[in-house]
Amino acid sequence: MRSLSSAISSGVTVPSPLCSFIAKANRRFPSDPVNHQTTEATFVVEKKVTDRVSLLVEYVGDYPIHGRDVELSNMGGEYLLTRTQQVDFHLAFGLNRNSLDYIVGIGYSWRFDNLFTASTR
């Protein structure tokens, strides 16, 4: 993600991915994957507060070909427990009638370094 980021000042990044994905089949178009396509746009401002703590504010918009748009304002943070583990939290608020009123989330992530490289023993 950092390759898509551009630094705007010390510790602040603005990664802004745009992706498109196919949702699982539904009754309306069971065999037509084109009609399940949803485009998701995000705009994120992230600030590294310390070596272990980062905070973020994000806009998320889901735009399906069929159906109604969903737009959210998301804010949260992450704390690095170790070099390969982190905990995070977020709170999101719906920006239109099609969105949920709010979302609360917490998470734990870990990274497996050198998982797909040959051992040097």
Average pLDDT over residues 101-106: 96
Residue 97 within any structural domain of the chain: yes
**pLDDT per residue over 4-55, tens digit each?**
334 444 556 666 666 665 555 455 555 555 566 788 888 889 999 999 999 9
Residue 25 within any structural domain of the chain: yes
Residue 105 within any structural domain of the chain: yes
Q: Which domain holds residue 80?
A: 2-110
Beta strands in the chain (DSSP E): 7-9, 12-13, 18-22, 37-48, 53-64, 70-82, 85-94, 102-110
Task: List 112's β-bridge partners, or say none.
Answer: none
Mean pLDDT of the chain: 80
Residue 80 within any structural domain of the chain: yes
Domain count, the chain: 1
**pLDDT per residue over 34-46, tens digit each?**
566 788 888 889 9
Residue 98 within any structural domain of the chain: yes
Residue 72 within any structural domain of the chain: yes
| The pLDDT of residue 22 | 59
Instruction: Supply the pTM of this predicted model.
Output: 0.67
Residue 115 within any structural domain of the chain: no
DSSP-based three-state secondary structure for 15: coil
Structure tokens at 89: 């939290």
- Residue 1, pLDDT above cutoff 60: no
Residue 116 within any structural domain of the chain: no
Our measurement of the distance from residue 21's CA atom to the centroid of its chain's CA atoms, rounded to an integer in Å, reads 14
Distance separating alpha carbons of residues 78 and 73, to the nearest angstrom: 17
